[in-house]
């Protein structure tokens, strides 16, 4: 199995109330969060997990440069991205998808209905039901905990098993304490996700944990 490289790309900071981060959290207590997407370098392409955003209405953002600028700071052009996996169709994960015109876009079938207005004419979009293989060691897997078709990305190589969690989990504390997020579409699926992927078999990579 060929080795791959996983690169976290942070492009802004803000805060979230604990009531959103995990069930039973305080609405008046805030935690710092980051806004992050991931780049997966393989021997055959550059895979982006989530497209990120360039605006975030309603949030007090700090150090915010937007996802595309953060990618360009790595000397990578949006035109170089071969594939984009959208974990779910919330604004901060999908807004910038229009910039990746050369990429094949993977999005879960039900989730597409929530995000279709972000796509532009002529984009190469692949819909899937339960999972989609992007290459031999990278696949998107439907969880459906955070939103109706929310997904994670499983990555397997010689160094181990990794997942990029999307928003199935905001903080590592959720995994450690086995508590679903406070914004789950389906808390039962969120809990099953935490039980499976928090078992220690996988290295869990998060998109908002500061």
108 inside domain: yes
161 inside domain: yes
Half-sphere exposure of 33 (CA within 13 A, CB side): 25
210 inside domain: no
pLDDT score recorded for residue 81: 98
| Residues of the domain holding 177 | 5-205
71 inside domain: yes
- Whole-angstrom CA distances from 189 to 4, 14, 40, 66, 98 are 29, 27, 26, 31, 30
The strand pairing partners of 127, in sequence order, are: 107
Residue 88's CATH number: 3.60.15.10
119 inside domain: yes
10-residue mean pLDDT series, the chain (210 residues): 86 97 94 98 96 96 98 98 98 98 98 97 97 96 98 93 97 92 94 93 94
């Amino acid at each position: 199995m060929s080795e791959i490289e996983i690169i976290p790309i942070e492009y802004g900071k803000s805060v979230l109330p604990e009531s959103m981060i995990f069930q039973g959290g305080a609405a008046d207590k805030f935690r710092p969060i980051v806004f992050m997407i991931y780049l997966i370098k393989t021997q055959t392409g550059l895979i982006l997990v989530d497209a990120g955003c360039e605006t975030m209405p309603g949030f007090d953002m700090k150090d915010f440069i937007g996802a595309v600028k953060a990618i360009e700071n790595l000397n990578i052009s949006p035109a170089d991205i071969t594939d984009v996996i959208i974990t779910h169709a919330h604004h901060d994960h999908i807004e910038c998808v229009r910039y990746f015109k050369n990429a094949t876009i993977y999005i879960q079938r039900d989730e597409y209905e929530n995000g279709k207005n972000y796509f532009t004419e002529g984009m190469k979009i692949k819909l899937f039901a339960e999972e989609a293989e992007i290459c031999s060691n990278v696949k998107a897997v439907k969880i459906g905990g955070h939103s109706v078709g929310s997904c994670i990305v499983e990555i397997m190589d010689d160094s181990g098993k990794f997942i990029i969690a999307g928003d199935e989990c905001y903080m590592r504390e959720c995994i450690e304490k086995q508590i679903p997020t406070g914004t789950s579409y389906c808390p039962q699926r969120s809990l099953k996700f935490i039980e499976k992927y928090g078992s220690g078999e996988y290295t869990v990579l998060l998109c908002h944990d500061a």
